[in-house]
Chain A
Amino acid sequence: MNLAKNLAFAVLWLLVIGISVYDGYWVLANRATINGFERNPVGRQLLDWDGGDVRLLLAVKSLGTLLAAAVLLVLYWTWPRVAWLVCSTVASLQFGLFLSLYLS
Chain B
Amino acid sequence: MLAPGMRRSVSAALCISVVALGGCVFVQGRFVFHQELTRALAPAPLFVSRFLFDDDGQRALVLLRSHSNSDGRFTQVAGLCDLRSQPPTFQPFPLPLSGRISIALAKSGDGFLSMENGDLYWLARVAPGAVQPIYFGSHPEGRAGFLVCPDDGSMVVVAGVQMTAWDPRAAALLWRRSDHLAASCAFVPRSRRLIGSLETGEIVELDPRTGDRLRLIARHPTPIHWFAISPDGSRLAAVNDGGNCFLTDLESGETIWTRRFKHTTGPQFSSDGQSLLVPTLGADAGIAVVATASGEPVGKLEGGGCVVGLRVRTDGSAYAWNSEGTITAWNLATGKVVFRLDPSASPSFNLPVLPVRLLDTPLPESHALPRAAVAL
Contacts and interface: CB of A to CB of B under 8 A. Distances in A.
B69 A36 contact: yes
Contacts of B66: 32
B312 interface: no
Contacts of B210: none
A22 B36 CA distance: 12
Given A29-B36, A53-B355, A66 B24 contact: no
A52 interface: yes
A73 B39 CA distance: 36
Interface in A17-65: 17-18, 21-22, 25, 28-36, 48, 51-53, 62, 65
B293 interface: no
Contacts of B356: 32-33, 35-36
Contact of B20 (A14, A33, A71, A74): A14
A90 interface: no
Given A22-B32, A25-B33, A33-B70, A17 B17 contact: yes
A25 B29 contact: yes
Interface residue tally on A, bucketed by range: 20 to 34
A50 B356 CA distance: 14
Contacts of A17: 17, 20-21, 24
Interface in B1-29: 6, 9-10, 12-14, 16-18, 20-21, 24-25, 28-29
Given A29-B33, A69-B13, 20 more contacts: A13-B20, A18-B28, A21-B21, A21-B24, A28-B37, A29-B39, A29-B40, A33-B356, A34-B355, A36-B73, A66-B17, A69-B17, A69-B20, A70-B10, A70-B14, A71-B13, A73-B16, A74-B9, A74-B10, A74-B13
